[in-house]
Structure 1
Amino acid sequence: MTPHRSRRLLTALVTAVAVVLGGGATAATASATPTPTIQNATVASPTVVTHETVAPAADTHDDEGWFTSWAQSQQRVSGKNFDNQSMRMITRLTQGGDAVRIRLQNQYGTRPLVIDQTSLALSAGGPAIVDGTSRVLTFDGAESVTIPVGGEVWSDPTSIGTTAQQELAVTFFLARPTVASLHDRAGRNNYGAAIGSGNRNAEVSGASFTENLPWTYFVSAVDVYNTDLAGTIVAYGSSVVDGVGSENCGPGCDAFGQDRRWTDELARRVVDELPPSQQVAVVNEGISGTTSSPACGSGGLDGVSRLDRDVLALSGVTGVIFYYGTNDLANGCSDAAILASYRQIFERLRDAGIKVYVTPITPRPGYTALMNEYRSSVNAFVREGGNCSGTCDGVVDFDAVLRDPANPNSILPAYDTGDGVHANVAGQEAIAASIPLEMLASAGSPVITSGAPGGTVVGEPYSFTLTASGYPAPTFAVTRGTLPPGLTLDGATGEISGTATTALAYRFTITASNGVSPDTSASYTIFVSPAWATPAITAEVEPRCLAGRPYLAVRVTNDEDVPLDVEVATAYGSKTFTAVAAGSNGYQAFAARDGLTAGTVTITSRDGDDDREGSETVAHPALTC
């Protein structure tokens, strides 16, 4: 199982060792946090609620059925304090399912975060929720949870039926003074109740949630369980991904809260245009102002540094739409630095079995001539071969969609918010319309990644394992030709193993499939050689006197039908040579200084591939001349 799917345990494991407010779990191994005294506040017990409390669902679902359906990356600590109050975050699912779990983070908090109660419900618009749909979430069975600084937790699954494009309200009760981490651009209003108003999680009308919060606190991902989905597509990048400009719909028009980012438009296209068997979730992991390379800025929010947290840790990810580089250029970085980060990110994603679709960098009026030279170099790399010079899986060309032919350093006036950089609603729609849906639907299709199997010899044990990317994990089958007799294929693991019985060249085709079209096939040949015999040599060893000095004469005869590499080793030195096929190479002479003492000569013969080796040891007497 690849890393992005094997993450189901909490990054900071929720344990029941530390008890918070009478039975809470902590997402750390530290000792229990003492309950603080709260002055002039009534703290509602998290176990006494007026709406439905759902016990943790038995986790009978395997990871293959879980898909992240909404996400927003945490990016900084809030300057706002919360105390004995509730807040309600609205998350718009791109796909639905029959169960939900959520990720909470304290990525930038300054102290351990205690959330006393978390619930979710179907949103009824604004801060209101649909009566009868509320679920109190648990974390390792407990309602309250403590998240350490820099940590995160995933809730236990809870059963609730959701549909594509449906909004979920996630409500938190904070009994004590709290500083939260957040995402800057919620793209809509979230809601807060007044300080000191206590636990309002059960409130259906939302009347107490009087404060509009244009940021997203705590919740950073929502997973749905839906075995019919074909994957999750993650949009990953900076402000063009984050949705800057998506509220701009022209003079006198404000699209705030209308979900008009290109990722929102793309998610709607998927639901409306793809058949049920090809539905995918689309989630947005953009953070405005960030860079691709850590060397170019971003303070740890660059594409390399946050890849694990914001892509690989999500569920069911099959593809990434990647837009990065514009802020790298603006910060003075070169094309070499940008491309080094591209290669690093693309390699990690593809190693995890995730397809990577990359957009060239879009125009920016503020670029200098040198910056535009670097942009041209990066974009040429991305477009080369239609696959980033072989490092990615495809190109989605936002630059071609947005740029103004009359002014290539800016975007089309019809798509321009006024800064020459960011697309308005019309531009967001144009970007979404340019992305091939079939490409996204097939992102989870298998690709065979293993090289060719090596040869074998009759009677020798053999093993070779085929590998393939894809989601779900592919299985393998021989669809044409045959394996060598004695070898079998394990369709689940891809291992070809056994002991070949017949010498011949065997050609066959392997097909990897996982239910996501198209399948992938590769043709191979396994050469089975006859059982090897020890190379045949004959050696004669004779002490001789020559000009009054003792010598050791060694003669090697090769009886093979091919030349053999021969090494002769004596007490007086060694020599390596090639023995002519089926003949003698003549004598090799080894000189002794005074007298030749009795000893042995070792002659080793090997074939040209070092696959076979024979050795012979011959004794010889002493000799004095």
Structure 2
Amino acid sequence: MLAFRTPTRRRAASALALTLAASGLAGSAAAAPAPADQPADRPATRGWFTSWAQSQQSLAPAPLRDRTVRMITHLSQGGDALRIRIQNTFGTTPLTVDAATVGLSTGNAAIDGATRAVTFDGRPTVVVPPGGEVWSDAAALATRPQDDIAVSLSVPGTVTPGRHTYALRTNYLTPAGSGDHTPDVSGAAYTETVDSTYLVSAVDVRNPALKGTTVAFGSSVVDGNGSTDCGPGCTETGTNRRWPDDLARRITTELPRDRQLAVANAGIAGTTSAAACPSSPASADGLDAATRLDRDVLALHGVTGVLYYYGTNDLAYGCDAAQILRSYREVFQRLHAAGIKVYVTPITPRPGYTDQNNLDRHAVGTYVKKWNNCAGTCDGVTDFDQVLKDPLEPNSINPAYDTGDGVHANIAGQQALADYVSLPMLSS
């Protein structure tokens, strides 16, 4: 039976076991018994791993009117089948999708080869309630690491879609009133572009050889701000240069075949770990770490580890060390209860911090680095503060890694962060 999830159901409703499509893909993870160490309210998903994600954070600025969207997603790992998640998290009316396809992207709106129809509990149409989400059946599309997958969704009527604001690549729409163009191999009908990702928020691959999915969870430096900056006057939009993307490439080239992991990005710019930072613009939207943990981490599949990179906005928006650490402990406890390891970075520098901000930053960093495991509350430390800080002015970013705003890492800085992560730690 098709499984939906809405905010009022949270963890209990994240049991998203779906019937696989009747095309010979039945009998995979959705029907498998849960491992003994898997909490009862998480789906049995043996062999399925989330390979790409972009967390929804707001509604798009304009509604869709009887048109097709084609969103380009970038896989960290491949498999012999895939499935997609559609969300209506911020919607106030039901969202209908009356056709969906997936296909290998040529790098723009066109498809390399043929599209594959996507179904939901065996049907081509699905209605997602306000605040809800749905995972599709399996689609028999073979993929490899670093493949770009075009997810096409036909949306009838008028609806304002949820989005991830910064896709950091071009996505495509057909004109209003154009109807269903999901089967199109040509990109000719997709005459409009957006720089956000609409409706689709995760892609799973079926690959029993993988050992897990690592989720990068945090704010703008996780989301990718700065990752298009390759120097003065130079940008590389659409080249997947966020540090989680760089980390995924390291995993595929440096880890042995029997230790491979997928990487999913759950970053949202402007968000905080703590829920009640006085001047946070995102607090009212429920985008703090604890509130969105179920939707953006625990509802993904095959998650074995989380890289936790939060705190910079907490300080900037008025939270102190005590508030930040309370939020850390709550989130870490919930992740551990789900059998997921947590690797934490101390808060990285900003030249705009006050003296009190830096005292709080030091207090959080001391806690995170205590015993190299957050005083026993996390599983390891990834010291991105050490990577990014200017050795001469440690409360500022190293100029070689600075986009110029004193906050975000450029492409060189993103690569330096990815290079610092211990792969044996993640794959142990």
TM-score greater than 0.5 by the shorter chain: yes
Match for 2:229: what amino acid? N
> Does the 8 Å CA contact 2:59/2:162 hold for their aligned counterparts?
yes
Matched, 1:268 2:235: no
Matched, 1:355 2:341: yes
SS of equivalent residue, structure 1 residue 301? coil
What's the offset of the Cα at 1:141? 1.5
Cross-structure match for 1:152:
133
Cross-structure match for 2:258:
277
Cross-structure match for 1:82:
64
Matched, 1:196 2:177: yes
CA distance in 2 between partners of 1:56 and 1:157 (Å): 9
SS of equivalent residue, structure 2 residue 230? coil
Percent identity between the two aligned chains: 56
Cross-structure match for 1:396:
382
Cross-structure match for 1:376:
362
For residues 160-559 of structure 1, what are the structure 2 equivalents within 5 Å? 160-296=141-277, 297=280, 298-299=283-284, 300-442=286-428
Cross-structure match for 1:61:
28
What's the offset of the Cα at 1:252? 2.6
SS of equivalent residue, structure 2 residue 214? strand
Cross-structure match for 1:102:
84
CA distance in 2 between partners of 1:57 and 1:76 (Å): 37
Deviations for 1:363-396, whole angstroms, at most 9, x for unmatched residues?
0111111111111000000011100111000000
CA distance in 2 between partners of 1:273 and 1:213 (Å): 35
Match for 1:172: what amino acid? L
Cross-structure match for 1:481:
none
Match for 1:247: what amino acid? T
Deviations for 1:275-334, whole angstroms, at most 9, x for unmatched residues?
110110011000000010112242210001001111111100000000111111111111
> Does the 8 Å CA contact 1:56/1:138 hold for their aligned counterparts?
no
Deviating beyond 4 angstroms after TM superposition, the runs of 4 or more aligned structure 1 residues are 54-58
SS of equivalent residue, structure 1 residue 310? helix
Cross-structure match for 1:11:
5
> RCO higher in 1 or 2 (8 Å CA, sep ≥ 6)?
2
Deviations for 1:400-423, whole angstroms, at most 9, x for unmatched residues?
000002112210000000011100
CA distance in 2 between partners of 1:255 and 1:130 (Å): 23
SS of equivalent residue, structure 1 residue 321? strand
Cross-structure match for 2:101:
119
CA distance in 1 between partners of 2:165 and 2:317 (Å): 21
Deviations for 1:39-88, whole angstroms, at most 9, x for unmatched residues?
xxxxxxxxxxxxxxx85554311221110000010000111121121110
> Does the 8 Å CA contact 2:4/2:132 hold for their aligned counterparts?
no
Cross-structure match for 2:118:
137
* 392-401 vs 80-89, greater mean Cα deviation: 80-89
* 314-323 vs 158-167, greater mean Cα deviation: 158-167
> Does the 8 Å CA contact 1:86/1:171 hold for their aligned counterparts?
yes
* Larger proportion of strand: 1
CA distance in 2 between partners of 1:356 and 1:84 (Å): 43
> Does the 8 Å CA contact 2:223/2:265 hold for their aligned counterparts?
yes
CA distance in 1 between partners of 2:26 and 2:393 (Å): 56
CA distance in 2 between partners of 1:125 and 1:401 (Å): 32
CA distance in 1 between partners of 2:300 and 2:4 (Å): 12
CA distance in 1 between partners of 2:24 and 2:372 (Å): 45
CA distance in 2 between partners of 1:84 and 1:150 (Å): 21
CA distance in 2 between partners of 1:319 and 1:430 (Å): 20
CA distance in 2 between partners of 1:409 and 1:386 (Å): 22
> Does the 8 Å CA contact 2:51/2:76 hold for their aligned counterparts?
yes
CA distance in 1 between partners of 2:368 and 2:52 (Å): 28
Match for 1:331: what amino acid? Y
CA distance in 1 between partners of 2:66 and 2:290 (Å): 38
CA distance in 2 between partners of 1:301 and 1:357 (Å): 20
> Does the 8 Å CA contact 2:54/2:201 hold for their aligned counterparts?
yes
Deviations for 1:12-45, whole angstroms, at most 9, x for unmatched residues?
6xxxxxxxxxxxxxx9xxxxxxxxxxxxxxxxxx
* Larger proportion of helix: 2
Cross-structure match for 1:594:
none
CA distance in 2 between partners of 1:89 and 1:108 (Å): 19
* 314-323 vs 152-161, greater mean Cα deviation: 152-161
What's the offset of the Cα at 1:131? 2.4
CA distance in 2 between partners of 1:179 and 1:115 (Å): 13
Cross-structure match for 2:18:
none
Match for 1:222: what amino acid? V
CA distance in 2 between partners of 1:56 and 1:361 (Å): 48
CA distance in 2 between partners of 1:224 and 1:328 (Å): 34
> Does the 8 Å CA contact 1:56/1:141 hold for their aligned counterparts?
no
Cross-structure match for 1:71:
53
CA distance in 2 between partners of 1:71 and 1:173 (Å): 20
Cross-structure match for 2:41:
none
> Does the 8 Å CA contact 2:216/2:264 hold for their aligned counterparts?
yes
Aligned length: 394
> Does the 8 Å CA contact 2:4/2:128 hold for their aligned counterparts?
no
CA distance in 2 between partners of 1:180 and 1:330 (Å): 30
What's the offset of the Cα at 1:194? 1.0
Extract unaligned runs of 5+ from structure 1.
1-7, 13-26, 28-53, 443-625
TM-score (norm 2): 0.90
CA distance in 2 between partners of 1:56 and 1:103 (Å): 20
> Does the 8 Å CA contact 1:106/1:152 hold for their aligned counterparts?
yes
Deviations for 1:511-560, whole angstroms, at most 9, x for unmatched residues?
xxxxxxxxxxxxxxxxxxxxxxxxxxxxxxxxxxxxxxxxxxxxxxxxxx
Extract unaligned runs of 5+ from structure 2.
7-12, 14-20, 30-44
